[in-house]
């Protein structure tokens, strides 16, 4: 009689754990090289004051982030870590933390360029103005802006 209750309960818990893990994605930063700029925000947890202030700044200009091909990783010492709004696997988070925040700083902001190099590394909140200024001064970004400007000029109104 006891097995009739315990086995289905264990199976239910197991299936629930599997479904939770299915919603997490496994990430490798190398997959984004030459495609995206990456912001890594390290914090003790999602309720950290510094993290909440930083993510509010990032959310205030999502168009600017998208225009510059920026992906935002929120990496926590405790709890689930995220790529934008998607949960990432614990293993992925641990790999990134080990490489970029092994000293376990309470708060850290890192910008990684499309070439995979660290372009900005701060232990304080970074404004979107500072972030975008840093990105916009990069040679690759300047080239992107010239290409956008050329295509806008080419597709502009025709004057006869």
pLDDT in tens, 11-22: 455 444 444 445
**Helical ranges in the chain per DSSP H:** 2-22, 49-59, 62-67, 90-100, 128-136, 139-154
φ, ψ of residue 120 in degrees (nearest 5): -150, 135
Q: Give the predicted TM-score (pTM) of the model.
A: 0.79
- Kindly state whether residue 105 falls inside one of the protein's structural domains: yes
Q: Is residue 152 part of a domain?
A: no
- Within a domain: 26: no
Assign residue 106 the CATH number of its domain.
3.40.30.10
Within a domain: 28? no
With beta carbons less than 8 A apart as the criterion, state whether 43 and 107 touch. yes
Q: How many domains does the chain have?
A: 1
Q: Residue 83's pLDDT band (boundaries 50, 70, 90)?
A: very high
Residue 144: pLDDT band by 50, 70, 90 thresholds?
confident
- Residue 157 has what pLDDT? 59
pLDDT tens sequence across 2-51? 556 565 545 455 444 444 445 899 999 999 999 999 999 999 999 999 99
Which residue is associated with the tokens 């405790």?
Answer: 78
Residue 57 within a domain: yes
Domain of residue 125, residue span: 35-145
């Amino acid at each position: 009689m006891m097995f009739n209750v315990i086995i289905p309960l264990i199976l239910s818990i197991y299936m629930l754990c599997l479904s939770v893990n299915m919603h997490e994605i496994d990430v490798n930063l190398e997959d984004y090289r030459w495609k995206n700029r990456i912001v890594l925000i390290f914090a003790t947890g999602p309720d950290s004051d510094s993290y909440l202030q930083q993510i509010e700044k990032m959310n205030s200009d999502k168009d600017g982030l998208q225009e510059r091909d920026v992906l935002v990783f929120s990496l926590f010492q405790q709890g689930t870590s995220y790529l934008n709004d998607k949960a990432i696997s614990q293993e992925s988070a641990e790999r990134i933390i080990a490489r970029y925040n092994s000293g376990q700083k309470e708060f850290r902001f890192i910008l990684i360029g499309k070439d995979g190099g660290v372009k900005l590394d701060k232990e304080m909140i970074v404004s979107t103005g500072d972030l975008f200024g840093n990105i916009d001064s990069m040679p690759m970004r300047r080239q992107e802006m010239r290409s956008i400007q050329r295509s806008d000029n080419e597709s502009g109104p025709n004057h006869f």
